[in-house]
Structure 1
């Protein structure tokens, strides 16, 4: 039973989705905290409320990352992450960027969850910081997850 549980844990930890989610969460959380002073949060008077909101957004970023990975895996193979081409990396990044662009428009203009106090994209009224986030972080997440998985596979 113990060996079965250990094999299951190894399988979970070696899965591309697990690695992508964990590295995505770590990178996006740091970025979300860094960019939070540039947003005016509505109805969030306490620091705890803001941290909960940022954590919620970061979990969402992790889920978006895994869904983008699955979309490409549906088109390619599941372990494309081990040998990503520049085209797949751009596609992976672009899918997340497109989702973020539409999500930011919804959150700022329709749901009015927050407003942009500075650094707005002209004509759109959303901040360029989340858009920049989804240009910089997905390739980093892919790189770190890939390196971790290759090292993990070689050590077992």
Structure 2
């Protein structure tokens, strides 16, 4: 009555969900950055695509680290909670670093007055990027777990 775990289907589902979620999130929170007022349409489009692809790489790397540190051969059926927690923590950690690097050090982007911020490690960090790295990977990991969980196939005896 049991099938085998399909980790490849889970990985595909995770990546597709992250890509779709990141694209929507990046487009939706663009007004929270000064680029919304100062950028051309092409610059805004480039930012959304560039950031979405970056998010996909961060999400894949974070999941890989989670799998290496806590995964099992039968992931996502087993150890999905531990892998998920590590994935989200790495994603959040990288986000804090990236926001600090690009806002404080490089000054390559800035928040608009609309961005809610929280003080983190001596600088104001946007709430939207933090929420993104909790909501999108958590949703993607849930979808991945469902995609990778074996389907219960009835035995011949159960069909009769």
TM-score by length of 2: 0.75
- Relative to structure 1, is the Cα distance of residues 84 and 93 closer, same or farther in structure 2, using a 3 angstrom cutoff? same
- Relative to structure 1, is the Cα distance of residues 83 and 74 closer, same or farther in structure 2, using a 3 angstrom cutoff? same
- Provide the C-alpha distance between the structure 2 equivalents of 1:131 and 1:121, rounded to a whole number of angstroms: 10
- Provide the C-alpha distance between the structure 1 equivalents of 2:152 and 2:103, rounded to a whole number of angstroms: 45
- What are the residue-to-residue correspondences of 1:5-154 with 2, within 5 Å? 14-41=8-35, 45-75=39-69, 76-77=71-72, 79-118=74-113, 119-122=116-119, 123-150=122-149
SS in 2 for 1:30: helix
- Provide the C-alpha distance between the structure 2 equivalents of 1:154 and 1:100, rounded to a whole number of angstroms: 39
Contact 2:66 2:84 in 1 (8 A): no
TM-score by length of 1: 0.77
Q: Deviations over 1:82-139 (max 9, x none)?
A: 3344333222111110011111111111221211123122341231110111112211
The gaps in structure 2 that reach 5 residues or longer are: 1-6, 154-160
- Provide the C-alpha distance between the structure 2 equivalents of 1:78 and 1:108, rounded to a whole number of angstroms: 40
**Runs of 4+ with >4 A deviation:** none
Give the number of the structure whose alpha-carbon radius of gyration is greater.
Answer: 2
Task: Choose between structure 1 and 2 for higher RCO, CA contacts under 8 A separated by at least 6 residues.
Answer: 2
User: Which structure's residues are more often helix, by fraction?
Assistant: 1
Contact 1:20 1:62 in 2 (8 A): no
Q: Deviations over 1:61-97 (max 9, x none)?
A: 1111111111122223355223344333222111110
The gaps in structure 1 that reach 5 residues or longer are: 1-12
